[in-house]
Every structure is written in C-alpha cells, then in structure tokens.
Structure 1
C-alpha cells in the first residue's frame, strides 16, 4: 500500500533541495558552515555546500559538512537577533533541514545514524510555513521519496508516520494540490500506522493503555518535542480546506491535538 499511496505525491529525492537552492546565497552557506563544532573546516564545508547549492543535489555520500548542517537546524530564526532573524534565517534553516532529510534516505548515512531524524522534519515544516514561498509540492515529493526509502529498509520503522504527517500538513495548505482522494488515503494510512505502533508498544513492551498518554500518536511512540506535534495537530484541526480531504485532515488534527480521543485498542475513523 505504501508505494501506491506515496507515489501519488510524485516522489523525488532532490526536488526540495533543488528548489531551495535557488534562494540560497553564499552568505547563507557561510552561516551554515560556521556551525562547524571544531571551527577548523569552515572553508572546506563552505565549498561543499556551494557544490550542493549550485548543482541542486547532494554530492556522493558521505559528505563532510553534515555535522555543521545539523547544528544549523537547531537555530530558531524567530528568536535570534541580527541578520539571521526572520526570513533569511528560515531560508538557511530550511535548506539545512532538507539536506539532512535527503541524507537520511541514503543507506550509507542511515546505517551510521544513532538518533532519529523526524525532529528535523518539524524544523523544516516550521520554516516552510514561515516562508510561505509555495514550496509544498517539492517538499511533499521529497518526503514521499523518503517514506518509501525508509519502508524499503525497514517496514516497521516508527519514523514513517511522522513523515506522513509532514506530507499531510503540506498537502492541506498547498494551494496547488487538489487531489482529495490522495489526502483521504493518506489520513487512512496514518490511522492504520498509528494503530500498528500502538499495538506493538502494548503487546511487546508489556505496557498497559493507562500507562501512557491517551493522545493519538503520543500514546504509541512518545515523540521528542511532543508539544510541537500537538500544535501541528491543532493547525490541522483548524484547517479551512473543504471536501472530504478537509474533513479527514481535521479528524487527524483533533486526534493529534488531543481534542478527540482514539479508541483504547485501535485508532479512529477519519471520514
């Protein structure tokens, strides 16, 4: 089902990196490179980032500037002062986050990953929302590619649901995405996936339903920065999108925000 569903979003590994690259200047790349934790390789990292920006694709893995790129995603452009406050900061952060997610789709990078990547997804979504630059189609394409890559490696991977939620957030607010059936199908997949994670947690970890949050998703996976996902749910719940897709997205939003409660042993219908 995953391939049939996510193929509807035109999977493309480099679509978002290529589109973001058009708006990234050398000063933004230097800002990212300066996150080098050692401080000795800024020039090397800057050259590598220029190559990525100019070609619109990431180079052969592994690439050396990955750690600096990751540190760049920790910044909050809405909180800092100076040149990287606001729009320019969000362009730089979105570019960095898109690069990391693109890297995660590569087997060589993923095999060395000891953490999780979905927090970088939230960073990307927040910057794209702040920029409001019409990048939703490219972002959905890149995330759809990533979901399929994760599924090929491990069909039980719990991170898939977060990237599915990211696609839903983008699809609902995309002015140029009119495929209601795809959004409804995505919402149905999200419910099924959350149910699978929930049942795994309580069957194999031996935890009772009362021992964890009753919020949909939070009860199944204890995500990092859970309050940011709850806020995403509130935004979905407040969506003004019409039709069945709007109804389905709002149902997911109410579950994720805690406004509605899932069944104790399953999910909940979304339409």
Structure 2
C-alpha cells in the first residue's frame, strides 16, 4: 500500500495526518492511517489495523494495472468505498489461500471498457462462478409515529432480517447480472452474491449468533425463482481476523445455495 500511495504522490502517513477521524461518516483509508499513526487501535471487533493489513495483503497479489484500480477505489471512491472494497479484499485473499483461481474485476464481455464486470470470476471445483460482493450500509430509522412503535424499534427477528438480505441480493443480481444472463454474455456458469454485514453488525449480528445452527434460516422467498435465472448463491457474512493474523477473513452467518449447485 505504501508503494501505491507513493505512485499517487502521497504517503500513508500524509493521509493519516490529513484526517482527524472525527466525523460521523464511514471509516476511510485516511482514517485508518490516522489511527495507526496515533497508535489508537484498541477496541472490540475488527480494528483499523485489521483493515489496513487486509487491503495491503490483497494489493500484494494484484498486478500493476489491477493494483492501481484497487488503490483508486480505496482512496478516491465514494465515502463508503473503503469499507466496501475491504470486503472484496477479504474474499480475494480467501480464494488465493484456498488455491481457487480468481480474476478480480472480471469483465463479462470481450470489450472490458464497455462491459460490466463482476468483482470476481472464480473456478470452484471445476465450475466457473461470477461473484459480486455487496456491503450493507447503515440505514437511518424512520421516526416512529407513536410510543408503541418506538418501543419495538430494533427488535428484528432472523426471518425479517433474512428477507431484507434476500431482497438486497436479488436487487444486486438484477443490476449487475440480469442483462448479461439475458444476452448470454455470461452462460454455462454460476452466479453468487456475497453479502457483507460488517457495517450493519449492530442490528444484524446478534439474532444470528443466538441461533444454534444457521440451518434454521430458511431461504427467503423469491431468491431462486424464475425471475433470477443463474443466481445460485447468497452468502451472508461478516469479517474477522484469526489469532494468527491481522488479516480479515469472511466469516459465514448463513449460506443459501440453489438446489443442484455446489459451493465450497
């Protein structure tokens, strides 16, 4: 990452010095550099140190062109871009470490500039998968109309959460893959949506942790119906580091697979 910063006429320290990390928006690359620069890295769950280690580890596996595109998305994207791309980096490291050949930002068509692309194309157990990662953002609650409604805010069960996650995955499929499937730009392959809830853990994680097994979470209606041909997987996950490494890895919360498809 230091080399990519220098290529952009910056340093990681300068990014940290330019950030105060005192704002109410999503954490950025500069914010993480600020925390590292000021040695403020200790709180529960993933830390800025984990974030920086993860994007740095993934960048090492990319070629010159890919790494520059990766840097631009990390540093020059929209406010939430850093945490969004973080999820992709964790999956890229996962595929690499398990020996699955993966192409980052793989175009659907023969003309990469004109074509849409998936976050990854991966060969898994002899089958080609097109995979896109979505990172759910925090949604501002609608002010309750009365006190009774106010008392129930935040009390969501797994079924209602699963329905929302399924809807997000379907919408992502429609935006990214529907036209490509219809035009046969992609065919004879599998399609999956990897749903990261890192930014929404406060409202999503606890109901899942209370389950004895994620088999209790039924596939939401409409995920694998005829309106979504080719959609074979929705993998809901968050990110955590192991005791041996600061690098974040995908941690599954529940995985829905179309009958007949195989997922790792």
TM-score, L = length of structure 1: 0.30
TM-score, L = length of structure 2: 0.30
Which structure is higher in helix share?
Answer: 1
